[in-house]
Structure 1
Amino acid sequence: MEFPINLSVFGTEINTHLVTEIAAFFVGFRFYVFKKKRIQDVFSWEQRMILLIAAALGALIFSRVLGALENVEAWKSSPDFWMYLYSSKTVVGGLLGGWLFVEIAKYFMKLKASSGDVMTFPILLGLFIGRIGCFSQGIEEMTYGNETDWLTGMDLGDGVIRHPLALYELVVLILIGVLLVVLQRKQKLSEGMQFKLMMFLYLLYRFIAEWMKPHFPLALGLTSIQIAILICYLLYLRTILYLIIKPKNTLYAI
């Protein structure tokens, strides 16, 4: 297999990652609309639109800032400070920023109900599609891992056997999705807990995966992504304790 793996349309080469990135947003949003029509939504159409705008704005800002902070030295040495910031992005920053801005919007609108469950599977689907594109670009996309002698190692285009982190993430996303479906069918998840469990498991994987890729510590030997995940875990410590040490028959929303 030779990387990058790009599409060819009528003799013109098209970047696969660009295609999957667009597809991830489009398919994810259409899946969200599909699911929303099948629930009794406690939020009005106007409230949902405000929350979606807040999520998009938070994701845009935090994905760039956290992405740029992944390698501060490269950011400092960049000839164009703002272009480096704009071109840098990370999914973790997008998820955390979107989550934070939604919670802020709900606070000002005095909304108490959970709003994340309907977004859980659309997010997982969007991430899955996007990571296919990341894998297709090999080492040209900053999702490749360190050199490894694991059986799962692959040559991603530079002649070095590396962790194919994008493929690892695809497997993790499938496992999270299956777990959520099983718990949902057994009615083990109360309102709001589906989204929180998805975030907890995905962020846990991303925290571990940071040690398997080129590591640029920001503080205390941790990358910006790892620090952001720890801060998120501290803010939701009570919820996390319920996820880990939960009552026998159910999971309660916090």
Structure 2
Amino acid sequence: MLEELRFGGVTVPTHAFFVGLGVVLASVVFVLEARRRGALREESLVAVTGALVGGAIGMRLSGWAEHLDFALNPGLVEAWMFGARSILGGLTGAYVGVLVAKRLIGYRERTGDLFAPAVALGMAVGRVGCFLTEAPGRPTSLPWGVHAPATVPECPGCVTGQAMHPSYLYETVFQLAAFGALLWARSRVDRPGELFTLYLGAYAAFRFLVEFTRANETVWLDLTRPQWFLVPGLALLAVRLGIGYRKGFYDRLLPRRGERRPLSLGARLSPAGEEER
């Protein structure tokens, strides 16, 4: 566990450093992507502001409704000061923040595709801070299991010296892979908003599965609170992606069965109708 980083005579909290670094890198990627798409305007920067404000609020207040019995939940002030800092809460808050910001200025263009690569890279970096400061995951016999000091809060496996899943590193690897996949797919998904929808679907499915390696408490049917939070979202995303697939939004990524590929440049048809080069 590495609580602090030292840069010369300056000491910085490890988790805050990597979260801040992730935000900076995400902002750079957002600006570059917006410039590439010709969307670097005042309206898009207002959307970024909404995402940052909404994400901060969602992350800090994510523990306010942690229990169905509201008597067990902290008050708003306590949740703001000592909240769980949930990534899912932050993403939800950021999404709502963007919608509110765009509604306030009357901006109707979709901005999700600008955010998708930025969010993936920012989360990949931020999760390194989680790995260095929080309980890794559930016990495992896999050869890449990690050990953490017994001083890590809320970590029974740390106390007993068990090897545990490096669950935060799993997420870092996923987000880096998603970042690369989004850069590859961005020129193959033309419909606005669909790149972001694909990223949300992939991340929601991954996060549901990786929760089985996390150290979070199970609350019902051996599922954790984040998993129950994701269940309705996964259902809605599955329907949304299914509709997009049937409408052909993703044909350049996943051609439907029986669909002919368009002729590539430099190709021509023979008299028999076959493609020649």
Structure 2 residue 202 is matched with structure 1 residue 207: no
Contact 1:66–1:224 (Cα < 8 Å) also in 2:
no
Alignment of 1:162-173 (within 5 A): 162-173=164-175
Shift of 1:198: 1.2
Answer with 150-159 or 119-128: which moved more.
150-159
Contact 1:63–1:94 (Cα < 8 Å) also in 2:
yes
SS at match of 2:122: helix
> Residue 29 of structure 1 is aligned with which of 17, 27, 30?
27
Alignment of 1:104-119 (within 5 A): 104-106=100-102, 111-119=107-115
Shift of 1:31: 2.5
C-alpha separation between the residues in 2 aligned to 1:149 and 1:244?
Answer: 40
Aligned to 2:193: 192
Name the Cα RMSD after superposition: 3.3
> Residue 15 of structure 2 is aligned with which of 7, 14, 17?
17
Amino acid in the other structure paired with 2:146: M
Answer with 114-123 or 56-65: which moved more.
56-65
SS at match of 1:22: helix
Identity of aligned residues (%): 22
Alignment of 1:73-88 (within 5 A): 76=72, 82-87=77-82, 88=84
Q: Would the alpha carbon gap of residues 34 and 188 (structure 1) be closer, same or farther in structure 2, given more than 3 Å must change?
A: closer
Aligned to 2:162: 160
Shift of 1:162: 0.6
Aligned to 2:38: 40
Structure 2 length-normalised TM: 0.72
Q: Pick 1 or 2: higher relative contact order, CA cutoff 8 A, min separation 6.
A: 1
SS at match of 2:6: strand
Alignment of 1:91-110 (within 5 A): 91-106=87-102
Higher helix share: 1
> Residue 53 of structure 2 is aligned with which of 49, 52, 57?
57
Contact 2:138–2:165 (Cα < 8 Å) also in 1:
yes
C-alpha separation between the residues in 1 aligned to 2:169 and 2:21?
Answer: 18
Return 5+ residue gaps in structure 2 as ranges.
Answer: 150-157, 255-277
Amino acid in the other structure paired with 2:208: F
Q: Would the alpha carbon gap of residues 246 and 229 (structure 1) be closer, same or farther in structure 2, given more than 3 Å must change?
A: farther
Shift of 1:172: 0.7
C-alpha separation between the residues in 2 aligned to 1:110 and 1:220?
Answer: 44
Aligned to 1:149: 141
Shift of 1:126: 1.0
SS at match of 1:7: strand
Contact 1:92–1:203 (Cα < 8 Å) also in 2:
no
Shift of 1:111: 4.4
Structure 2 residue 118 is matched with structure 1 residue 122: yes
Structure 1 length-normalised TM: 0.78
Q: Would the alpha carbon gap of residues 39 and 182 (structure 1) be closer, same or farther in structure 2, given more than 3 Å must change?
A: closer
C-alpha separation between the residues in 1 aligned to 2:108 and 2:10?
Answer: 51
